[in-house]
Amino acid sequence: MNDYFARFSASPASFKKSFAVLVVAWVCHPIFLYSLFLAETAVEGVDNEIKKMVFVSLSLCFLHFTVKKWARALVVVGNLFIVLNDFFYFYVTPHNTISTMLCVTVVLFTIVGTYWLFVKDTRDYFTLVNPKTEATEPTDSKTGPPRHG
């Protein structure tokens, strides 16, 4: 785990900005959902959906912190679904001022945090931390893999 903390402290400012902004978005996401259903007594089972969103948010936060190349792609896809999910709930459920502000916060922070993932410094850092592995023995396409004895 210390390796992850070392990676994070050595990361460029754009990665740290992305992480900080996305953590705020991921924390606000389940709170936004909770604020929509706070006064709705007729809606059953919403607590389970909110718990699932908390799990998704925490998972994305952990994956982003690990600085794995595949995790970056998963975070981007997860952010897309969070934005779509929040827009859907905002559109179909009655909302108040607090839920409106939380929805705007989640959407804007998710977009800005995802943007910081695509900044050149962040992309280069992900490539530096996760270099492509080269094949140990190059194979010739005419002869196929080397045969041993």
pLDDT of residue 94: 80
Size of the chain, expressed as the number of residues it contains: 149
- Distance, in Å, from the CA atom of 135 to the CA atom of 114, rounded to the nearest integer, reads 32
CA atoms within 13 A on the CB side of 116: 19
Domain presence at residue 89: yes
In this predicted structure, what is the pLDDT of residue 42? 44
- Asked if 129 and 67 touch (Cβ cutoff 8 Å), the reply is yes
Q: What would the mean pLDDT of 31-53 be, rounded to a whole number?
A: 72
144: three-class secondary structure by DSSP: strand
Phi, then psi, of 140 in degrees rounded to 5: -90, 130
Q: Residue 133 carries which DSSP code?
A: P
Q: Is residue 67 part of a domain?
A: yes
Residue 37 has pLDDT above 80, yes or no: no
Confidence at residue 143, expressed as pLDDT on a 0 to 100 scale: 58
Does residue 146 lie within any of the structural domains? Answer: no
Q: Give the pLDDT band (50/70/90) at residue 128.
A: confident
Per-residue confidence (pLDDT) for residue 147, from 0 to 100? 60
Inside any domain, residue 139: no
Q: Domain for residue 27, yes or no?
A: yes
Count the domains in the chain: 1
**If DSSP codes are grouped into helix, strand and coil, which group holds residue 118?**
coil
Higher pLDDT, 1 or 38: 38
Question: DSSP 3-state assignment of 96?
Answer: coil
Which residue in the block uniquely carries the two structure tokens 């779509």?
84
pLDDT in tens, 58-85: 888 888 888 877 888 888 998 998 899 8
Q: What is the pTM of this model?
A: 0.75
Q: At what angle do helices 46-66 and 13-37 cross, to 10 degrees?
A: 180
pLDDT higher than threshold 50 for residue 121? yes
- The answer to the question of residue 123 being in a domain is yes
Q: Which helix (H) or strand (E) element contains residue 8?
A: helix 2-10
Q: How would residue 144 be classed by pLDDT, with cut points 50, 70 and 90?
A: low
Query: What is the DSSP-derived secondary structure letter of residue 94?
Result: -
Nearest Cα residue to 22 out of 48, 68, 56: 56
Range of the domain at 69: 15-38+45-129
Q: Does residue 2 belong to any structural domain of this protein? A: no
